[in-house]
Amino acid sequence: MALTVETGAGIDGASSFITVAEFDAVQADYFPSPINGTQAEKESALRRAWLAMKVMGWSKSFPSFGGTIPADVKVAQGILARAELASPESLQPNITPGQQKILTQVGEIGWTPTGQGGIDAQRSVVTMALDLLKPYLHGNGQTRYLIRA
């Protein structure tokens, strides 16, 4: 199924801000080595990047942005899609929520939790894309996710 690209007109069923050709241009412009894939793999990566972007706390009217899609939003989707193409499902992992931990005691084994627990600790963070999106997100650009039991 072909991508349906949002142009700023509020297109029903949109699944991307950019085409595969635009995605290839983002890779060429921002990265020394593009991640290769088939047309279908690139379209899937763009759809998954779109889904990751949909759950962000937008302060402006997503997805049409009042008629003009900002260039930074398009580039950010390309960056997120590149991460997805390199490591499928990294932006939306299937996980069992839990904490990361390190071994801190030998003999009687002891573990110490490190970092944040739960789903947010398991998600891939693509800072290059999130930095571009900060002006369009509520607060400081951090995204909060629903945890469903």
Distance CA(41)–CA(45), nearest Å, equals 6
64: domain range? 20-91+126-136
Does residue 149 lie in a domain region? no
* The pLDDT value given to residue 78: 97
Residue 61 lies in a domain: yes
Residue 41 falls inside a structural domain: yes
pLDDT at position 60 over 90 = no
Kindly tell me the sign of the dihedral angle through the C-alpha atoms of 57, 65, 76, 5: positive
Using DSSP, state whether 4 is helix, strand or coil. Answer: coil
Mean pLDDT of the chain: 83
Mean pLDDT is lowest, of 23-37, 41-55, 70-84, 135-149, for 135-149
Place of tokens 């909060």: 144
Would 104 be classed as within a structural domain? no
Is 98 a member of any domain?
Answer: no
Tokens in use for 61? Answer: 């009217």
pLDDT at 59: 84
Q: Residue 108 — very low, low, confident or very high, per pLDDT cuts 50/70/90?
A: confident
Q: Full-prediction pTM beyond 0.85?
A: no
Q: Which residue has the tokens 């995605």?
A: 23
